[in-house]
Amino acid sequence: MKKYILLAIVWLIAVETQATAKNTWNRGELSLINGTVLTGDLSYNWRAEIVQYRDGNTIKAFSALQVREFKYFDVDQNTLRKFIVADQPDKSSRHRLFLEEFGVGSMMIYRQLRHARDPIHIGNPMNTSIDDKSPKSLDRYVYYIYEGDQMTSLTDFNTELWPRMKAEFDDELTHYSATIQANFSSTLTRLLLIAQYNQLKARANQLTISHSDLQPTSLD
C-alpha cells in the first residue's frame, strides 16, 4: 500500500511540475520548406525535436519535416544560434534532423543532442546547460561535418576526415597535433583539429586571392 501511495505522490509532483514549466522564448526567424518566413518568438525543444513559433497569443509547433532552417538570439548565451534541417545519415531512413551550426569554415560542423545520454528533464530541454564547452559536455552531442553537399559523421574522423586534412596540410597539422598532445579518439581533439584545418584553409584561400590580385592585367 505504501508503495502505491509513494508512486502516486511522485506522479502528482511530476504532473504539477510539468504544468508549471515554461518554455524559453527568444526572438528569431523560422523558414519553412514552403517558402514562408516567420519572424517572432521561437522556442526549440531539443528532446522532442520541435520548434515553436509564437505571435501574440498564437503558438504553432513545427517538426523537421516542415522546416528548412531557423535561427534565434540566445539571450542567456548572448549568441546567435543557427539550425538547419538535414536528412538522417542512414539513407534507409526518411527521418529528418535539426542540426545546430557549431563550427564555420571549409568543413562546417553541426551537432545534435545525443538523446540516449541526456538526462530527462521535465519541461523545456532548452533549460539544460547544453552550451557548456567542457570535454564532458561535448560528448553529449553527435557531430556531423559538411563539405559542400557531403556529410561525414565525426565518428569517421580517423578514416575519412583526417586523411583528407593531412593531404592538404600535413606539416602544419602534424605540428599542431603534437602541440596539443592529440588523442585522436577524443571528441575535443577532433573538433580542435578541424577548427585548425579551417583556419589553414581560410588562410590559404586568402593568399590565393591576394596573389591573383597582383597578377598584371592584360592590355589585349
pLDDT tens figures, 201-218:
999 988 877 655 556 555
Percent of the chain with pLDDT over 90: 58
pLDDT in tens, 32-75: 999 999 999 999 998 888 999 998 889 999 999 999 999 999 98
pLDDT of residue 93: 56
Burial 168-195 (b: 16+ CB within 10 A, else e): ebeebbeebbeeeebeeebbbbbbebbe
Integer CA distances (angstroms), 75 to 21, 79, 138, 191, in order? 19, 7, 21, 25
Is residue 75 classed exposed, middle or buried when 0-12, 13-18 and 19+ CB atoms within 10 A define those classes?
A: exposed
Q: Tell me how far apart the alpha carbons of residues 196 and 201 are, in angstroms, rounded to a whole number.
A: 9
The structure's pTM equals 0.76
Q: Tell me how far apart the alpha carbons of residues 92 and 47 are, in angstroms, rounded to a whole number.
A: 22
